[in-house]
Structure 1
Amino acid sequence: MHGHIKLGSWRPFRATQILAPGVGFVWAATARVAGLPVLGYDRYADGRGEMNWKLGGLIPVMSAATADVGTSAAGRLASEFVFVPSTFGTATWHEAGPDAALATWRIGPHTETVCLELAGNGRLGAVHLDRWGNPNGKPFGRYPFGVDIEAETSFGGITIPSRFRAGWWWGTNRWSEGEFFRAEVTAAAFR
């Protein structure tokens, strides 16, 4: 995937992700700040989350592996089930309105519920949840987080979200300040 991530200002990035729904993920990316590459990863595995980012691949700029990071990463993993639709059967589903459904997943020690909303044309339009985090330096807690899905593409016969925007304060008048991620998936392989 590639896109833009808000690191002070919007910066281009390129990334690769390995996603194992219900188990974990590794998202490895490179962005640029002041012309220098910032390389690193976010991950969730074995019930724990971690972020590790370095300027030029050498100078640490962010490193965290706390329980709060793990709980936030579990929420991210729950929302990213939409990239592997064959795993939808592993969720507990409830109707949330005529064009929406709630899906609950057990992820390690965490239970996460996400809402999937259809767009007017029947495709997936949004995924949102109350996700653990500390947006804009707030105390850790559950805050509105969501993903607006702008396009879908089929890869190997499986249709997934391919262009989207994500951030905190989804569905509120603070969405413009909380949005921090815009991406396009350019390739996907399923096993």
Structure 2
Amino acid sequence: MRGILGIFAAVLAVLYQKSVWNFTAQSDKAIADLLASSSTHPPFAEFETLPAPVQRWLKNSGAVGRQGIKCVRLKQTGWMKLKPEQRKWTKAEAEQVITTLPPSFVWTVKMKMNPFMPVIGKDSFKDGKAQMLIKMAALVPLAQVEGDAKTNESALQRFLMEMAWYPTAALLPYLVWKEEDGTAAEATMSINGVTGSATFHINEQGELIRITALRFKDNGNEAKRFPCVAEIKRQMNVDGFTIPAEIEITWLLEEGPFTWYKFSVHDVEIT
């Protein structure tokens, strides 16, 4: 019996390693495709035409007078909760590549729900379309979504909310800005029939303190939009740009706030 169990375990180990290799290869190809399609920025919008809060943020972030950011690579170390009732946090290690023209990203994550259940996942956004894949033990699909209208919209809004890492994108012509008050401005973007908005909250010193958006949390028929809040807890300087170093993501659900992801950023490359 032990011999049979040993053979079974060995086969599972081989399948797991092969699946991880395939997943990594697919992710690497998606990143390569994304970088290959990245192009040079068109002329920027006039700085003076932006809402006053956005002007303060761009000055404070070091984006004024700089060449436009084409790509950001970064790693994240954080903690997740997949459900509000989940008591324990799950550690997550993630990597992300973002291009600003076209607006695209690939985000991959590895985590362990328990010592015997490794989980890998990938979120991507390109040409207005989103893909999401989550696998248990790199073998069993837990969630797989592609081309869903609600997911597309939510991914576009995620790109907007993460603009804190590539602030020169605020000047690109695919964004329409609208000042809400002296400390907030809304950015709206449309691409291939998908439209989304996010609001940037900026204090008098020009510090970006949080970003909010009304997003779909799920993609089912009954899915609703809920406020999603990215709270910037700490900033850092990379190549002269002031960008977020620690962030907490919270959904404001009907039953109350649900902080599902808190993480720090490291190994950032800006080009």
TM-score (norm 1): 0.88
Give the one of 95, 118, 128 matched to 1:47.
Answer: 128
Q: Does 1:76 align with 2:149?
A: no
Greater mean deviation of Cα atoms: 45-54 or 138-147 = 138-147
Q: Mark the CA change 1:147 to 1:23 in structure 2 (over 3 Å): closer, same or farther.
A: same
Q: Which residue of 1 aligns with 2:190?
A: 106
More strand by share: 1
CA radius of gyration, larger in:
2
Moved segments of 4+, more than 4 Å: none
1:106 Cα offset (Å)? 2.1
Residue pair 1:23, 1:108 contacting (<8 A) in 2 also: no
How does 1:52-67 map onto structure 2 within 5 Å?
52-65=133-146, 66-67=148-149
Residue pair 1:41, 1:53 contacting (<8 A) in 2 also: yes
- SS of the residue corresponding to residue 266 of structure 2 reads coil
Q: Which residue of 1 aligns with 2:268?
A: 188
Residue pair 1:44, 1:50 contacting (<8 A) in 2 also: yes
1:68 Cα offset (Å)? 2.2
Tell me how large the CA RMSD over aligned residues is: 2.2
Residue pair 1:46, 1:108 contacting (<8 A) in 2 also: yes
Q: Which residue of 2 aligns with 1:33?
A: 113
CA distance in structure 2 between the aligned counterparts of 1:79 and 1:138, rounded to whole angstroms: 25
- Report the number of matched residues: 187
Q: Does 1:6 align with 2:97?
A: no
Pick 1 or 2: higher relative contact order, CA cutoff 8 A, min separation 6. 2
Identity in percent? 25
Q: Which residue of 2 aligns with 1:147?
A: 230
CA distance in structure 1 between the aligned counterparts of 2:186 and 2:235, rounded to whole angstroms: 20
- SS of the residue corresponding to residue 187 of structure 1 reads strand
CA distance in structure 2 between the aligned counterparts of 1:173 and 1:141, rounded to whole angstroms: 14
Q: Which residue of 2 aligns with 1:179?
A: 259
- SS of the residue corresponding to residue 188 of structure 1 reads strand
Offset from partner CA, 1:101-148 (integer Å, 9 cap, x none): 11222233222221111246541110001113339x892232211111
1:67 Cα offset (Å)? 2.5
CA distance in structure 2 between the aligned counterparts of 1:119 and 1:4, rounded to whole angstroms: 28
Residue pair 1:49, 1:70 contacting (<8 A) in 2 also: yes
For 2:78, the aligned partner's letter is G
CA distance in structure 1 between the aligned counterparts of 2:91 and 2:205, rounded to whole angstroms: 30
CA distance in structure 2 between the aligned counterparts of 1:62 and 1:173, rounded to whole angstroms: 24
CA distance in structure 2 between the aligned counterparts of 1:113 and 1:68, rounded to whole angstroms: 14
CA distance in structure 2 between the aligned counterparts of 1:49 and 1:165, rounded to whole angstroms: 22
Q: Which residue of 1 aligns with 2:212?
A: 128
Residue pair 1:129, 1:145 contacting (<8 A) in 2 also: yes
Residue pair 1:103, 1:114 contacting (<8 A) in 2 also: yes
Residue pair 1:155, 1:187 contacting (<8 A) in 2 also: no
Residue pair 1:147, 1:165 contacting (<8 A) in 2 also: yes
Residue pair 1:101, 1:116 contacting (<8 A) in 2 also: yes
More helix by share: 2
For 1:115, the aligned partner's letter is T
Residue pair 2:151, 2:218 contacting (<8 A) in 1 also: no
